[in-house]
Amino acid sequence: MVKTAKFGGSSLSDAGQFQKVAAIVRADPTRRFIVVSAPGKRFSGDDKITDLLYRCAALAGRREDFSAPFALIRDRYLSIERDLGLEQAHMEQALGQIEAALRSGTASRDFVASRGEYLCARLMAAYLGVPMVDAAELICFEPDGSLDMGATERRSAFLQDMPMAVIPGFYGTMPDGSVRTFSRGGSDITGAIVARVVHATEYENWTDVDGFMMADPRIVPEARVMHAVSYEELRELSYMGASVLHEDSIFPVREARIPIRVRNTNRPEAGGTWIVNEGTLMKEHRHGLVAGISGRKGFTMITLTKENLHRQVGFGYGLLKILDRHNISFESMPCGIDNLTVILNDADIKGKMDILYHEIRTELKPDTVEIASSIALIATVGRGMARTAGVAARLFTALSEAGISSRIIDQSPKEMNLIVGVDQRDFETAVRAIYRAFCQ
């Protein structure tokens, strides 16, 4: 077995957290490839190192003094080095080189941001007594900034022959050798790439929670941790608002059929959440009908009615052309014999509603146009719903008993998710009602 273990910023915020990470790594000899983020917040109101680095880059770019945020960065790394007795990591020298690059104006924004992970990896490698491999030697980007997976796999193949290594997350290099970062949270992607190239049997993603919750704990305080979720279910929950892994981090391991396990650095004894392909592992670890419930506010419904609309060839196409003209995507488009509804994200239609209404009226000539704003969408997601009778009845009974009416109902063709639209004022109550109907 070979495991790749990625540790997030909260797991590396200070020397005490470094000690926890080291204990986790040393407890399992199959944890051979360790990917680290930059140190995160130590307490409420604290700064993440990456935020401070971006601040330094912005100030330096304007030729303004960046000494205050850089002093905070210097203090954090030097304190970790000092508290762990890691003088061999030479943090003062490395920090001085970064400061000099900022002052010279030669450091790009991406290069500066990447130094958070780079310095953290140097410290962790020194603490574990294993080599550090710079992500710049591994991760390749295309000229357009997208990941070059083929080149990355070729350049990273040597990792398979290493007994153990620490790798900084979040960045790689462009064809010209310059540093390029992923979007924020991109260390998850690095971890997934490393897991793939070393043919890991498991990708562990260590953070500060026991796993993914079956509902937002701010809405449902008693929400349980998901024991297991499929990649498909995760995408559905993430799209509808659940805070999960960086979306792009799923694909490298999904294609290689490598399971992900989300675990808590502060509670390593907790089981965590498995993210897997459908199959034996899923059957062993999934309990219950529903994987999770998530939702978002901020939608508008436009309902068009026209007699015998189902016989109007091109009506739906005409509506989509209008949306395309204004660069608006739609969330859902349920329809009936005489009506068609399109659900749009408020952010996409901001400042465009009047012109949309005019063009729909002029070009499609519907009998009526009704606009309903302040809509929230709630997705109940689970593979187990597909062949189970009475799921919809159970859901709508729960909403009815809570005094909530559904504005719209939509179910995916695969029957993996059931989406209901409710008034925004009923959102939290609806989420709690659905959770208690399926997850208690």
Residue 399: CATH number of its domain: 3.30.2130.10
In terms of domains, do 200 and 297 share one? no
Chain-wide mean pLDDT for the chain? 92
pLDDT top residue among 118 and 249: 118
Establish if 419 belongs to a structural domain: yes
Q: Is residue 46 part of a domain?
A: yes
Model confidence at 94: pLDDT above 70: yes
Q: Which pLDDT does position 311 carry in this prediction?
A: 85
pLDDT at residue 251, rounded to an integer: 85
Question: Does pLDDT of 421 surpass 70?
Answer: yes
What is the extent of the structural domain holding 329? Answer: 292-438
Q: Is residue 55 part of a domain?
A: yes
Domain boundary among 156, 188, 208: 208
Q: By mean pLDDT, which of 153-157, 260-264, 330-334, 399-403 is the weakest? A: 330-334
pLDDT value at residue 286: 57
Claim to verify: residue 204 and residue 297 sit in the same structural domain? no
Residues 171, 76: one domain?
A: yes
- Average pLDDT for 344-357: 95
* 274 within a domain of the structure (yes/no): no
The reply to whether 56 and 155 lie within a common domain is: yes
| Together in a domain, 74 and 179 | yes
Tokens 């409710």 — which residue?
422
pLDDT exceeds 70 at position 282: no
For residue 232, being part of any structural domain is answered with no
**Could you tell me which of 439, 375, 370 has the C-alpha nearest to residue 410?**
375
Find out whether 109 and 61 touch, Cβ atoms under 8 Å: yes
Claim to verify: residue 18 and residue 153 sit in the same structural domain? yes
| Residue that is last in its domain, among 208, 240, 269 | 208
> How are strands ordered across the β-sheet holding 339-345?
330-332, 339-345, 292-305, 368-381, 417-423, 408-411
Q: In the predicted model, what is the mean pLDDT of residues 17-42?
A: 98
Say whether both 86 and 202 belong to one domain: yes
Q: What is the reported pLDDT for 244?
A: 65
Is 60 exceeded by the pLDDT of residue 280?
no
Question: How many domains, the chain?
Answer: 2
Does the pLDDT value for residue 57 go beyond 60? Answer: yes
Q: Is the model more confident about 180 or about 238?
A: 180
Average of pLDDT values for 4-13? 97
Residue 276 domain-assigned (yes or no):
no
CATH number at residue 107: 3.40.1160.10
Is 22 in a helix, a strand, or coil?
helix
Phi and psi at residue 133, in whole multiples of 5°? -110, 120
Closest to 428 measured CA to CA, from 333, 297, 299: 297
Do 148 and 297 reside in the same domain of the chain? no
Contact (Cβ atoms closer than 8 angstroms) between residue 5 and residue 204: yes
| Domain stop point among 167, 184, 208 | 208
Angle (nearest 5°) at CA 107 between 33 and 50: 50
Residue listed under structure tokens 């990708």: 203
- pTM value is 0.87
What per-residue confidence (pLDDT) applies to 334?
87
Statement: residue 386 has pLDDT above 70: no
Cα–Cα nearest to 2, from 29, 40, 35: 29
* Structural domain includes residue 423: yes
Same structural domain, 194 and 300: no
State the pLDDT at residue 387.
Answer: 72
**Mean pLDDT, rounded, for 233-252:** 78
Instruction: Give pLDDT, residue 204.
Output: 97
Give the tens place of pLDDT for each residue, 122-165: 999 999 999 999 999 999 999 999 999 999 999 999 999 999 99
In this structure, what token pair is assigned to residue 78?
């030097």
**Same domain? 162 vs 15:** yes
Decide if 398 is inside a domain: yes
Q: What is the mean pLDDT of residues 260-279?
A: 91
